[in-house]
Structure 1
Amino acid sequence: MSVALDTGTIIQRASGHLEDLTGHVFDVLEVSKPISAAAAVNLSKVVSKLSPLLGNLIEFNTVEFLNKQKDFGGVGKWRRQDPGFPDTVFDGVSPTPGFEIKAWFPLATEITARFKDSQAHFIHDNTYVCMLAWLPEHIIYGKPYILDVVVVSGRSVAEARDNHYHNPPFYVVREPEDTTARTINLQQTNTNGYRIQTADSARIAAANKLIASWGANGKAYSPDPAYQDKLKELMALLTYRLDTNYAKMDRIVHTGLEEFKARVMRTKVHGLTIAQWDRLFRSAEQARKALAKAVLLKSSAALIARFTARVADAEARLAQVLKDRLGITEADPTDLLE
């Protein structure tokens, strides 16, 4: 006897299938093995640029993968939205279940993907975020594979973002203007963050007095139009600038995402944790920057010699680890010309 599937059940089952993608290898592209330790360091900086491409591959694969699962047969079908939010939706039940796919290369400086959609978009809690951490098979070269997966509620991410950023009068999160009269491709669902630029204490005091008049929970964020009107009045009193770093997922401080990041960085690959690989690749560069600064400041010969030795030590350690664990050695220049 078949069991009727509702939105929550479909999301729950699909989330389990997505988490099972851990370890999946994408054989449609491959990063070549670097020819030296220096090339490996440079590659570690640029391989993250594959994340948008890999994200698209994951979106295609997600739809195909989920539609192969017997759980959803006879109920509906998964479909990719491009463009559109979220990336993947299930046609067959209402409210429509969906997943927004985010790819993360953990050797990058941070998770640069953003999440700006309004809380109002998640009233039914039917859209979830699927973040996939990926690496090449050999840390920086080889075929990309999924290292780990986390699935969290989109509503919880939006709420965590707004609670983290919104702090009037110093920082204000604003909803998009009402664009429902526009065609679908021109409708806006993204929030924005604004950072205060006013330094005048009298104007800030006046702003705080206005906020106090909103009541005990006046600083608590709400997408409600009445609260947005209050924020509009506040922003008329002070000068603000648009925050271009707003809503980066690495800065939202969402419990589930923070736990996922920590778990990924603790994961061992080729004998070292991701955090250790990250420090290894950055150590030589940091030593070189310290040496360059010492030279620029015309530091003593002894200090420059000490920094020079640190650079040599960091580069030697990096070269040894890359040789022992990834088989990367210095290539013969004459071989490269053949």
Structure 2
Amino acid sequence: MNTQDVIRLASQYLDNLSGHTFDVLDISKPVTIDAALNLTKVISKLSPLLGNLIEFNTVEFLNKQNEFSEFGKWQRQDPGFPDTIFVGKVQPTPGLEIKAWFPLATEITARFKDSQNHFQYDQTYVAMLAWLPEKIIYGKPRILDICVVSGLSVALARDTHYHNPPDYLVLEPEDTTQRTANLQQTNTSGYKFQGSVEEFLEAQKIVDSWGVEGKIYKPTREYQHLLRELLSQYKYRLDTNFAKMDRIVHPGIKKFKQRVYNIEFSSITVSQWNRLLSSRREDSIKKSLQDYLEIREESIDELLD
């Protein structure tokens, strides 16, 4: 069994988790429509916690599969990248970066910043797990769908999408190989041009002097030197939204997102739930919660009895 065999087998098992309910947390059913409405406004805040719990359980799930036991064991890295690696006889070491997505949020907010240079053997893959509570806003977390894509392909799509000198620079981390493991830098960063029109035209002439090949992104030291010269000569701001999964324009992630939005959940699609619950039409939200989630309006007196 080689690295790609391990990743392929893990992907197959993860695919089988679609529809699976994780018994890690149970959100109680709201007792009134007003309570349900309030829950819709805060339920997404559970995503980081449940994402971590799903991550823990996913590693345990993979380690229960007998096919892996002969060659090694899945092991979490906390902190570290990727989230879990397959420690054993297989080299280079296979890894999975696990990202949970709550599709009632505005977008896939998880980020992927690691440099292309970390995926030269295509040994690390990204596993995205879309989840919702069993009853949209309450119940146990249920996996809707799963997408497993190459980490290298995500990094390439990200850098190709963002890279646009001199307007936008994608910079590799500095060389920190001499530092201890906890101080080594692995993340790329994005910078947006903030200079004047005149300065932009000057910077554009510099980029044009690089030739056609010079406009193609490269994670090499020589090419990064060219980008850092622009950064040192002109005004740029660090882009805090850089590398959000929803903005990388990766075809596999895009298809996965659309697939999840088309899933029917309590008689309407996830996309329709997303639009409804993110709207400000509280009357429509209350009616939908009553119709589909069987939450009835109750008076204070009923609750106190």
TM-score, normalised to structure 1's length? 0.87
| Contact 1:319–1:329 (CA under 8 A) maintained in structure 2 | no
Deviations along 1:162-192, one digit per CA (max 9) or x if unpaired, are 1111111011010111111111011000011
Q: How far is the alpha carbon of 1:324 from its aligned partner? A: 2.0
Partner SS state of residue 218, structure 1: helix
Which amino acid in 2 is paired with 1:156?
Answer: S
Rounded to whole Å, the distance in 2 between the matches of 1:13 and 1:40 is 40
Q: For residue 200 of structure 1, what is the aligned residue in structure 2?
A: 197
Percent of counterpart pairs with the same letter? 62
Q: 1:323 aligns with which of 284, 290, 294?
A: 290
Q: For residue 334 of structure 1, what is the aligned residue in structure 2?
A: 301
Q: For residue 165 of structure 2, what is the aligned residue in structure 1?
A: 168
Q: How far is the alpha carbon of 1:82 from its aligned partner? A: 0.7
Which amino acid in 2 is paired with 1:329?
Answer: R
Q: How far is the alpha carbon of 1:235 from its aligned partner? A: 1.6
Which amino acid in 2 is paired with 1:204?
Answer: F
2:238 is aligned with 1:271:
no
Q: For residue 78 of structure 2, what is the aligned residue in structure 1?
A: 82
Deviations along 1:273-297, one digit per CA (max 9) or x if unpaired, are 01111222233x1x5xxxxxxxxxx
Q: Mark the structure with the bigger radius of gyration.
A: 1
Mean Cα deviation higher: 25-34 or 119-128:
25-34
In the TM superposition, 1:203-242 aligns within 5 A as 203-242=199-238
Q: How far is the alpha carbon of 1:236 from its aligned partner? A: 2.2
Mean Cα deviation higher: 20-29 or 166-175:
20-29
Q: For residue 12 of structure 1, what is the aligned residue in structure 2?
A: 8
Rounded to whole Å, the distance in 2 between the matches of 1:164 and 1:337 is 57
Deviations along 1:212-232, one digit per CA (max 9) or x if unpaired, are 121212121111000000001
2:116 is aligned with 1:119:
yes
| Contact 1:166–1:221 (CA under 8 A) maintained in structure 2 | yes
Q: For residue 36 of structure 1, what is the aligned residue in structure 2?
A: 32
Cα RMSD (Å): 1.4
Rounded to whole Å, the distance in 2 between the matches of 1:194 and 1:37 is 45
In the TM superposition, 1:130-169 aligns within 5 A as 130-169=127-166
Which amino acid in 1 is paired with 2:147?
Answer: V
Mean Cα deviation higher: 220-229 or 22-31:
22-31
Q: How far is the alpha carbon of 1:209 from its aligned partner? A: 1.4
Q: 1:50 aligns with which of 37, 46, 56?
A: 46
Q: 1:62 aligns with which of 55, 58, 63?
A: 58
| Contact 2:37–2:285 (CA under 8 A) maintained in structure 1 | no
Partner SS state of residue 213, structure 2: coil
Q: Sort the Cα spacing of 1:45 and 1:250 in 2 relative to 1 into closer, same or farther, 3 A.
A: farther
Rounded to whole Å, the distance in 1 between the matches of 2:285 and 2:203 is 54
